[in-house]
Amino acid sequence: MYGERLVPDGGVEYRAWNPRRSKLAALLLKGWTILPLRRTSEVLYLGAATGTTVSHLSDLCSEGMVYAVEVSRRAFQGLVALAEKRHNLLPILADAGRPDAYAHTVTSVDLLYQDIAQRDQVPIFAKNLRFLDPDGAAILMVKARSIDVARKPSGIYREVRTQLERAGLHVLAAVPLEPFQADHAAVIAEPTESQ
Ligand SMILES: C[S@@+](CC[C@H](N)C(=O)[O-])C[C@H]1O[C@@H](n2cnc3c(N)ncnc32)[C@H](O)[C@@H]1O
């Protein structure tokens, strides 16, 4: 998919998952090993780019569906090429800040995942919580420098936690992704019972 090593073992082919290319791999290597995913899970992925991390989620949810939203036409072309080889990947060319554009396609998902390096990354994520199943989970990859270059990342992660709790999520953890991804943290959350 992106030049990664392939390892055949007992009739199965495994793909190396690079934590410097994929923040989800970095999260796993930082010790957060509980991914709320089954073979049949449905995932809404915001900021899919050309599909590096999407391709791994597509492997994991082989009988489910990955809805992959990307705003850049150029990156979207790569995503479409990937979807031609994968039956469980649906690329959506749209701005994740305007979720009405894909509300007729995406219904309810088990995992909401966002990796968008924009100043308004938290409001974008909050707008997409409408697609999250009450028993699902949400992962926001926060790029601190995109929110404010001048502030310490730890203060920004604390503020993001508070914003997500106000949006109706119970935050389980905020895991800094160094040394794999500088100034990034994964914030993992689930809907509160009242949602
Ligand atoms: C850091 S890259 C994502 C890398 C990718 N998640 C991966 O691990 O393979 C961020 C992507 O978000 C996209 N993006 C930025 N703003 C967006 C928006 N409002 N809606 C959808 N995608 C957006 C960018 O075009 C870019 O491709």
pTM comes to: 0.96
Confidence at residue 36, expressed as pLDDT on a 0 to 100 scale: 85
Using CA atoms, how far apart are residues 139 and 121, in angstroms rounded to an integer?
12
Q: Which amino acid is at 166?
A: R
75 close to ligand 1 (CB < 6 Angstrom): yes
Using CA atoms, how far apart are residues 71 and 10, in angstroms rounded to an integer?
40
Mutate to test the pocket of ligand 1, among 70, 79, 124 (most ligand atoms within 8 A of CB): 70
Could you tell me the distance, in angstroms and rounded to a whole number, from the CA of residue 33 to the centre of ligand 1? 24
- Cα distances from 22 to residues 2, 57, 99, 134, in angstroms, run 11, 11, 24, 27
43 close to ligand 1 (CB < 6 Angstrom): no
Task: Report pLDDT digits (tens) over 120-166.
Answer: 999 999 999 999 999 999 999 999 999 989 999 999 999 999 999 99
Confidence at residue 107, expressed as pLDDT on a 0 to 100 scale: 86
Task: Report pLDDT digits (tens) over 65-76.
Answer: 999 999 999 999
Task: Report pLDDT digits (tens) over 87-108.
Answer: 999 999 999 999 999 999 998 9
Q: What's the pLDDT band for 35 if we cut at 50, 70, 90?
A: confident
